[in-house]
Structure 1
Amino acid sequence: MKKKNDFDLELFIELALCTGARLEGILNIKKKDLSLSSQSVNITDFKTKNSDKKRYTGFLSDEALNLINKVYNTLSPNDFLINKPYATIKNVVQPLLNKLFNQGLANDDFANRVVIHTLRHTFASHLAIKGTPILTIKKLMNHSDINHTLRYAKLAPDSGKDMVKKLYN
């Protein structure tokens, strides 16, 4: 993904993997939503019906910050960080995912097919694998219901073992 015009696509994928935000949430990030000093971004959750949870905070990886810094000073506060429409991102990223991960899969194999939303699941899965508490994952994913987050609990390392060993020491 190192062609001349792929900057927005690279930034999109990096933001998806470091914030877990949905496609629409990432595409609606404006310069004014960024805080470089706290390495965070305010994200709009277009799926939630709860007005209290419509906006939430995501955190930026060093790689995302490096990419953002390349364009930050060229943007006005209300400019979108990624200057590509939904359809363009979807029509470029999905074929790339198909080429990399979906070769040989039946078109109706939804259980194994990698799609753009898989990047969100990858973010949550990596958090769980690293031992992040399930309530923290819930917060970072902006899930309204813990049951949505619990699917990732099975990926957590044997987290209770270390807690028990520390209990009386």
Structure 2
Amino acid sequence: MADENGKQTEMESRPWHQTVTLLLVSLRLAALVATSTAAGLMAFNKETKTVTVAVVGTNPILQSFTAAFQQTPAFVYFVLANAIASLYNLLVMLLRPCLKNRGRQVLVHLLDMVVFALVVTGAAAAASMAELGKNGNKYARWNPICDRFEAFCIRGGVALVAAFIGAVLLLLMNALSVVGLTCKNVTSNNN
């Protein structure tokens, strides 16, 4: 309700602010869970297969092959990007009482955008390598590996889904943060 000058009262803007704050905290917590799940799944993603490469007489010659995230720079970047995003979101949640100042909230919003970009680029890099692992590249004569390392590819796919969910949550958090900062600015200018 507005007073005789058309200004909103403090009581009207308060519930909106509390709702936005609650949504931001919920989105940050969900993004923390998604990015930490993505980082953890990929960081512990390793599969070893032992195959017979030759038979000499009656003795098979065995060779072990291992697929691990450390063997691909895109997967290493993916793990680091999601781990940084998880740590950042955890720190912001823990330091939330210290971030009431408008200038600090703007800084957090800008850092949120950087973290969003980090997660999206990490997920995109990993997705391109996952596609190569699944389908290969017939022009470069690179064979797919997911037919041999199925568990590795499934865990990597789940990690990618978690990372993209985290990216969408971070994007929503950024959009809601802009709305919250804009509404604060409008209500403070009206008073």
TM-score in terms of structure 2 length = 0.22
Structure number, greater radius of gyration? 2
The structure showing larger relative contact order (alpha-carbon pairs under 8 Å, at least 6 residues apart) is 2
Q: Say which structure is richer in helix.
A: 2
